[in-house]
Amino acid sequence: MVNTTIKTTKSQEIFAAAQNLMPGGVSSPVRAFKSVGGQPIVFDHVKGAYIWDVDGNQYIDYVGTWGPAICGHAHPDVIGALHDALEKGTSFGAPSFLENVLAEMVIAAVPSIEMVRFVNSGTEACMAVLRLMRAFTNREKVIKFEGCYHGHADMFLVKAGSGVATLGLPDSPGVPKSATSSTLTAPYNDLEAVKALFEENRDQIAGVILEPVVGNAGFITPDAGFLEGLRELTHEHGALLVFDEVMTGFRIAYGGAQEKFGVTPDLTTLGKVIGGGLPVGAYGGRRDIMSMIAPAGPVYQAGTLSGNPLAMTAGIKTLELLQKPGAYEYLERITKKLADGLLQVAQETGHAACGGHISAMFGLFFTSGPVHNYEDAKNSDTAKFGRFHRGMLERGVYLAPSQFEAGFTSLAHTDEDIDQTIAIAREVLSSI
């Protein structure tokens, strides 16, 4: 049963104390409710498709700890495997067979990946891949897209999505100009702009990195031919194509967006799902490029906890669950039902709206659209999104507290959860 009114006394007390202890009261900015108003709820525990807060309220969750919980929170198989793994120790700092197992699974699944290196977060994966792109091509410049987020490393904090977009921040203080002077940007879905950058910077561009489906400026899909066009342009100019599949990997399809769209990049970054809720990132790609990483080659990248046995275990179990027949068909069906339902309800209640989904990722903008890039996404009525978010939360639905984030479903979401969410959305959208 889901509540329709909420009392949040304990959440408020804990969050008030947190604000004196940690900047903004959080360990990551996207968790604060700055752009939607009100205060975050403080979680007590999570299970399946649900969250319980410290006041005992239950919510249907569409954040899924920002992506990893694709099998549902605290899946019994993952928890069971973790219990067994714990008995063997929490960290080795030495090779383990578990790394081979997860590496083989990733290599078998993701078309571009012939070799992989495990790290601890998506940010680390993207930092490392950029160094590798530059080393392999012996060029410094890189093209990223406005509104795409590749973690918080200096070189990527240029027109970034996610919390940077949510908070409307300019490029971050503390990032030296020298760190971003080689980061070129183009509007997403704009091949002509990319072409122009290649022309203006002949033989200087190491590569292009992008979210093949954007989730950090809201949910934005690649136009027909965009990914293919980038593949051609990068080939033509001797540059590398990198898909940041930290969010889309094993979510858009088992083999990620590259499987879904049939475009194979040179390198890929992963995170979120492959850690099954524990801290993991990875990067991988062509064997000739990956062989440049130390100690096989000269490009340095390291990590005390990288390949951590608990994280490998959770990742392996999660991928095994995703391999079960029908998993992606189920994710597609319930997510379509949710995305279509939300859009229909928004339109029926008189709101300008557009949105969509692919597999277990979805989005809804409060603008009639279409939304092809971050500039279009900014036309969304973010004040209305704030009211929508609050109304949903108060009735037991937990959405990402930002218009500029995608939503996530999981194998644990039932038809009843989706029906209930749409019914609640109708109630909220009728009143805002």
Ligand X SMILES: NCC(=O)CCC(=O)O
Ligand Y SMILES: Cc1ncc(COP(=O)(O)O)c(C=O)c1O
Helices (H) and strands (E) counted in the chain, each on its own, are: 15, 14
Closer of 70 and 103 to ligand X (Cβ):
70
Type of residue at 253: A
The residues carrying an active-site annotation are 149, 244, 272
- Please say which residue, 136 or 145, places its beta carbon nearer to ligand X: 145
According to CB under 6 A, which one of 372, 405, 410, 417 is a site residue for ligand X?
Answer: 405
C-alpha to C-alpha distance for 10 and 15, rounded to whole angstroms: 8
Site for ligand X in 81-140 (CB under 6 A): none
Q: State which residue, 121 or 258, has the beta carbon closest to ligand Y.
A: 121
Is 211 near ligand Y (CB under 6 A)? Answer: yes
To the nearest whole angstrom, how small is the minimum distance from the Cβ of residue 87 to ligand X? Answer: 30
Beta carbon of residue 344, minimum distance to ligand X (angstroms, whole number)? 26
Provide, rounded to whole angstroms, the least separation between the CB of residue 161 and ligand X. 8
Burial code of 346-365, b = ≥16 C-beta within 10 A, e = fewer?
A: beebebebbbbbbbbbbbbb
Q: Would you count residue 30 as binding ligand X (CB under 6 A)?
A: yes
Angle (CA) 190-170-407 rounded to 5° is 60
The yes or no reply on residue 219 touching ligand X (CB under 6 A) is: no
C-alpha 200/C-alpha 197 separation (Å) is 5
Calpha distance 374→371 (Å, rounded): 8
Does residue 166 touch ligand X according to CB under 6 A?
A: no
Among 57, 96, 123, 382, binds ligand Y (CB under 6 A): 123
Residue with the closest Cβ to ligand X? 28
Q: State the chain's maximal CA–CA distance in angstroms.
A: 61
Site for ligand X in 188-217 (CB under 6 A): 215-216
Cβ 146 to ligand X shortest distance, Å: 16
244 binds ligand Y (CB under 6 A): yes
Quote the CA–CA distance of 190 and 287 in Å, as a whole number.
30
Q: Following DSSP, what letter does each residue of 34-49 receive, concatenated?
A: TTT-S-PPPEEEEEBT
Closer to ligand X by CB, 23 or 238: give it. Answer: 23
